[in-house]
Amino acid sequence: MPKSMVKYLNMLTSLCPKCKDKHRCWQEHLLKYHKIKIMITYDISEEMLKYQKSKQSKKIKLTRTDIMNYVNNLLQPNLDELKEYLNSK
Q: What is the pLDDT of residues 30-59, one digit of tens each?
A: 999 999 999 988 999 999 999 999 988 888
pLDDT at 89: 62
- Average pLDDT of the chain is 89
The answer on pLDDT for 73 being more than 90 is: yes
Q: Model-level pTM?
A: 0.77
CA distance 27 to 30: 5
Q: How many CA atoms lie within 13 A of 17 on its CB side?
A: 9
CA distance 77 to 62: 23
Q: Could you tell me if 71 and 49 are in contact, meaning their C-beta atoms sit under 8 angstroms apart?
A: no
Q: What is the pLDDT of residues 11-35, one digit of tens each?
A: 889 898 888 788 898 899 999 999 9
Closest by CA position to 47, among listed 70, 22, 18, 20? 70
pLDDT at 70: 92
Q: Could you tell me if 37 and 31 are in contact, meaning their C-beta atoms sit under 8 angstroms apart?
A: yes
